[in-house]
Amino acid sequence: MKIPANSRLDETVMLHRRPVCKGIAGVLGSGMLGAAALGCESAPAMQTSAPPASTLPRQPVVLSTWDHGLPANRAALTILREGSAIDAVEAGCRVVERECPDMTVGLGARPDREGRVTLDAAIMLDDGRAGCVAFVQGVAHPISLARLVMERTPHVLLVGAGAEQFAREMGIEVLAPRLSEAAEREWKAWLAEKRYEPRINIENHDTISMLALDAQGRMAAASTTSGLAYKMHGRVGDSPIIGAGIFVDAPIGGAICTGLGETVLRTLGAHLAVEAMRAGATPQEACERAIARIIEKNPKPETYQVGMLAMDFAGRTGAYAVQRGFTYALQDELRPAPSMFT
């Protein structure tokens, strides 16, 4: 399918999730957590309704986490008009790796507690092919290195010095470690107190994760991040782990996560959501069930954030998060900008 240049694909829609506690009991079902356990009184989980599913034909769709999903989607959509979902998510992630004012992605991001920027990325196609890199330093575009792991090696995940060596072998420059001025200033201020407290929804963890469905009906997922600011040296989160930060499987759908990676690693969050869709859940229900499981397995949900996005092969999407404040960008042909779903 060819999309006319003046279609609504030119617009990128930023959706802000709004908290509505009613309906959570229905999501959880009997035998699972109650609404209070989800934090509805102190820190409401978010309930939103998905757009009507049956009206959506197969068409290019792209879904990205957080506000930087806007420029990422724009780059991805340009490619989706003619090209593939895998090219689209790689291009979208590269935009944020190049420029991330939040300092949460790419070489300009906040460092770990030792003052080193260590990066994680993953990319996956709906046929099960996947490539990931973790704990890499000096690589400007970890998402492209992850794609090379998928395409040029028999492996799925390369880490640290081995991943950097592979980058050099592929002709990718590995830069000497250097902090951006802003990151260095903040890190030095952090050193004065050395308090390690991952905070919710704010700029110290805002990974870009993307899901795209192209006009040929192929789906791909990707994620790239510097992980948590001032993390322990060597710490790796969910983002580069298939099934945790991202997962996509034809003919079911895909899911992507953002937030406190440890909570998602413990539950393989993205895989949970895709398996929920396999069992018949809509993408929205799948996100809600996966988040409910994450909350069930990780106490004190008021202390962390996880945002989850999912999509099926009909282009239906879902979104849900532990806390208020999760934003994501969604674009397809049918949704005029800007739209809010409650």
Question: 């906040």: which residue's tokens?
Answer: 110
Query: Among residues 111 and 259, whose Cβ is nearest to ligand SD4?
Result: 259
- Within 8 A by CB and 6+ apart from 241, the residues are 122, 132, 134, 157, 265
Shortest separation between residue 261's beta carbon and ligand SD4, angstroms: 2
Phi-psi region of 157 (alpha: psi -120 to 50; beta: other; left: phi over 0): beta
List 258, 317, 327, 331, residue binding ligand SD4 (CB under 6 A): 258
Interface stretch with ligand SD4, choices 125-133, 176-184, 200-208, 308-316 (CB under 6 A): 200-208
List 59, 225, 267, 331, residue binding ligand SD4 (CB under 6 A): 225
Interface stretch with ligand SD4, choices 20-28, 141-149, 253-261, 329-337 (CB under 6 A): 253-261
Task: Choose among 298, 313, 215, 318: nearest CA to 257.
Answer: 318
- Edge to edge, what strands does the sheet with 253-259 contain? 246-249, 253-259, 306-312, 317-321
With vertex at residue 225, the alpha carbon angle to CA 339 and CA 253, rounded to the nearest 5 degrees, is 55
List 17, 205, 289, 293, residue binding ligand SD4 (CB under 6 A): 205
Interface stretch with ligand SD4, choices 28-36, 74-82, 235-243, 331-339 (CB under 6 A): 235-243
Interface stretch with ligand SD4, choices 5-13, 34-42, 87-95, 234-242 (CB under 6 A): 234-242
Phi-psi region of 326 (alpha: psi -120 to 50; beta: other; left: phi over 0): beta
Count interface residues toward ligand SD4 (CB under 6 A): 13
Regarding 111 and contact with ligand SD4 (CB under 6 A), the answer is no
The residues that are catalytic are: 207
Shortest separation between residue 192's beta carbon and ligand SD4, angstroms: 24
Query: Among residues 12 and 258, whose Cβ is nearest to ligand SD4?
Result: 258
What's the 3-state SS for 205-271? Answer: CCCEEEEEECCCCCEEEEEEECCCCCCCCCCCCCCCCECCCEEEECCCEEEEEEECHHHHHCCCHHH
- The DSSP secondary-structure symbol of 9 reads G
Distance CA 133, CA 38 (A): 33
Please list the residues that pair with 212 across neighbouring strands.
62, 220
Query: Among residues 56 and 93, whose Cβ is nearest to ligand SD4?
Result: 93
Regarding 68 and contact with ligand SD4 (CB under 6 A), the answer is no
List 15, 228, 277, 287, residue binding ligand SD4 (CB under 6 A): 228
Please list the residues that pair with 253 across neighbouring strands.
249, 312
Regarding 69 and contact with ligand SD4 (CB under 6 A), the answer is no
Regarding 261 and contact with ligand SD4 (CB under 6 A), the answer is yes
List 102, 126, 238, 249, residue binding ligand SD4 (CB under 6 A): 238
- Enumerate binding residues for ligand SD4 (CB under 6 A): 205-207, 225, 227-228, 237-239, 258-261
